[in-house]
Structure 1
Amino acid sequence: MTRVCLIGADDCTLQYELLSRETAREALSTYDLRRPFENTIALRTVSVGAAISLLNDLDWYLTRFVDEALVQEPSVSDEEWLSRELATQLRNSAVGPDETDEFCKIYGVERADPASAPGAPAASAAGANTESEGEHGSEEESGGESDERGDAATRTGGGQARTETQQTETTTEPTTPTPRRRLVEPLYVRRTGGDLPEYDLRDVDSTLVVRITEAEHSP
């Protein structure tokens, strides 16, 4: 299964912005949504093509509320992600799987107080089901990162949004005050000899590698 992870912009609560809008909510309604990092939404699709199609459908919202959209394709790597642009090139056969690993950016991953998260408390729109990572670990995250044990699930109160009042009914279960993970400033690197430089911008618990295009590496 191909994975998608949307990283919310710093000035918005991504889960609320997407799930409170009917078009975005309907586009996401068939997916099992997760939140592997602070202010993110992650899901699984059947293929790279399906992932790119979904991102294209959500493009209006991504432009406004998403800092970056990531795609992880198992046929390319089980540990590293692709930028949306590189995944699109892969889908269009403009690059091959073995041609995607030269240019990368590495996000640091650190623990954060949930009270400081842009998405806390998270609002889940009616008709959608979102969960934080629980006892089964971080399936949406790559590279063997630590899971968010004890982070409570956020579920909807059932029923469809009441379109008569043009409002979305939401219910949110209280979340356990367990530190969440957040992505911090990326380091742009170039792989040489099969190895990536170490992340050295700050002390972090772990890292997440995103393969990017040469143009994204040197804008």
Structure 2
Amino acid sequence: MAQVCLLGEPESDLRYELLSRETAREALSTYELWEPYANSLALDTVSIGAAVSLLNDLNWYLVRFVRAALVQSDSVSETEWLSRELATAIRDGEVDPAETGELLQVYGVEDGRPENPVFVEREGDWTPEREGYDEVLVVRVTESEFDG
């Protein structure tokens, strides 16, 4: 099982933008959708591969209305998300899931809204501090995303 979470751009209403367009609505029609964060959309898929395929199908909309497309799979981590780029690399066999988790993008979540992320390099058993946030959203990223 894998989850997809789309974080909408602040100036867009993500649910409206996706569900008001026929192609996106059809691609999402077989999934149960929920909103874990303000202006977000989440759903369950059967695998990382299915999650990446769905993101590829929705790419036109993602470029315009989504600031981050995330994938979570218990086979990689039960609590941390993967960037779309990292999920794709894992699906394609380019990256071993066990070798991820050092390079992170961390969002503080306040009032249900993920704030601007910071990039962090994890050493050892480091876990992010909430530092005044309601919760923390941790995303594993590729080296190119981290350095970019």
Aligned-partner Cα distance in 1 for 2:129–2:143: 20
Does 2:92 match 1:92? yes
Rg comparison, structure with higher value? 1
Which 10-residue stretch deviates more, 56-65 or 191-200?
191-200
The number of residue pairs the alignment matches comes to: 148
**What CA deviation, in whole Å up to 9, does each residue of 1:174-193 have, x standing for no partner?**
xxxxxxx1111212100112
- Identify the structure with the greater helix proportion: 2
Question: What is the aligned partner in structure 1 of residue 135 from structure 2?
Answer: 206
Aligned-partner Cα distance in 1 for 2:62–2:118: 22
Cα offset for 1:194?
A: 2.8
Equivalent AA in structure 2 for residue 65 of structure 1: F
Cα offset for 1:211?
A: 0.3
Does 2:99 match 1:64? no
Ranked by relative contact order (alpha carbons within 8 Å, sequence separation 6 or more), the top structure is 1
Does 2:143 match 1:195? no
Aligned-partner Cα distance in 1 for 2:6–2:135: 19
**TM-score, with structure 1 as normaliser:** 0.66
**What CA deviation, in whole Å up to 9, does each residue of 1:45-103 have, x standing for no partner?**
00000000000000001001110100001100010000000000000011111111110
- Alpha carbons 2:128, 2:136 under 8 Å: kept: no
Match of 1:90, SS? helix
Alignment of 1:66-145 (within 5 A): 66-111=66-111
Cα offset for 1:206?
A: 1.5
- Alpha carbons 1:2, 1:48 under 8 Å: kept: yes
Gaps of 5+ in 2: none
Question: What is the aligned partner in structure 1 of residue 50 from structure 2?
Answer: 50
- Alpha carbons 2:105, 2:117 under 8 Å: kept: yes
Question: What is the aligned partner in structure 2 of residue 114 from structure 1?
Answer: none
- Alpha carbons 1:189, 1:196 under 8 Å: kept: no
- Alpha carbons 2:4, 2:45 under 8 Å: kept: yes
Change in Cα spacing, 1:48 to 1:91, as seen in structure 2 (3 Å) is: same
Aligned-partner Cα distance in 1 for 2:105–2:67: 14
Superposed CA RMSD in Å reads: 1.1
Aligned-partner Cα distance in 2 for 1:217–1:58: 24
Q: Provide the identity percentage.
A: 58
Gaps of 5+ in 1: 112-180
Aligned-partner Cα distance in 1 for 2:130–2:120: 9
- Identify the structure with the greater strand proportion: 2
**TM-score, with structure 2 as normaliser:** 0.96
- Alpha carbons 1:4, 1:44 under 8 Å: kept: yes
- Alpha carbons 1:3, 1:42 under 8 Å: kept: yes
